[in-house]
Amino acid sequence: MTIISYNVNGIRAAIKKGFVEWLVAANPDVICLQEIKAQEDQLDLNLFAEAGYPHNYWFSAQKKGYSGVAVLCKSKPINVVYGTGIESMDYEGRNLRVDFPEVSIMSLYLPSGTNIQRLEHKFEYMDLFQSYIDELKKEIPNLVICGDYNICHEAIDIHDPVRNKNVSGFLPEERAWMSGFLASGFTDAFREFNSEPHHYSWWSYRANARANNKGWRLDYTLVANTIKETIKRAVILKEAVHSDHCPVLVELTS
């Protein structure tokens, strides 16, 4: 199974930039989207069906044009779960899970900490999410949690760790949470295959950051250790340019 995660920074804008054509060429079994910034009724779902993804699921934020996640599948999952059941997490449309017989895949869009209030919300979300996953794993152990975590875990995951040490996304508390989350039973699939710096998944639109590769690795495919041995490869697809993020891919063997 090939799984892609992609923060599209607005699915309608991405479609205008050739997203659907790219999706057909990339041909994953499942693609998790974040920051869709659209309601389901604002989209032509036939586009996705015709691209080979007749089973597409959308969990939008209550606020229009903001946040939201989706999962597009070639094959029909046996179960779909919208949100977490925790109101403070779900009203912004940040979690959507599809279950298959051997693996469950979640699209996650963790909040950013753009100001003090949002940073407090981010920390609250992180704590609630850890507790939610701790319980979920008892029922569904074979999880792959794909998405934009809005955290650079290590110094090699950010282009300038010194200047950004006090910036949300690379705060010591955020990085410690990421370490703890991984330690609770997950593997950072990309780092299983690549331990080198300068591999990023997000670049600012300012100062020609992408061309100069001054980026942050915010997007992850975290695979439960129960199925760690099935990880075949994990890569960052930096050539895709429909967003300020790029997609990340993990392939699992059966």
Q: Which residue stretches of 3-76 are H helix?
A: 11-16, 19-26, 46-50
- Tell the residue number behind the tokens 């992609």, with chain if given: 6
- Report how far residue 247's alpha carbon sits from residue 249's, in angstroms, rounded to the nearest whole number: 7
Element (H, E) at 34: strand 30-34
Q: H helices of 52-205, where?
A: 87-90, 116-139, 172-183, 189-193
Query: Rounded to whole angstroms, how far apart are CA atoms 158 and 14?
Result: 25
Q: What are phi and psi of 245, to 5 degrees?
A: -100, 165
Q: What is the CA radius of gyration of the chain?
A: 17
**The two three-digit tokens of residue 23, written as one number:** 């999706």
Q: Which two tokens stand for residue 15?
A: 């479609």
Residue 214 burial (CB count, 10 A): 17
Q: Phi-psi category of 181—alpha, beta or left, where left has phi over 0 and alpha has psi -120 to 50?
A: alpha
Does the annotation count 44 as an active-site position? no
Strand partners, 222: 145, 188
Q: Using DSSP, how many helices (H) and how many strands (E) does the chain show?
A: 7, 14
Catalytic entry in 29, 148, 157, 188: 148
Please identify every residue annotated as catalytic.
148
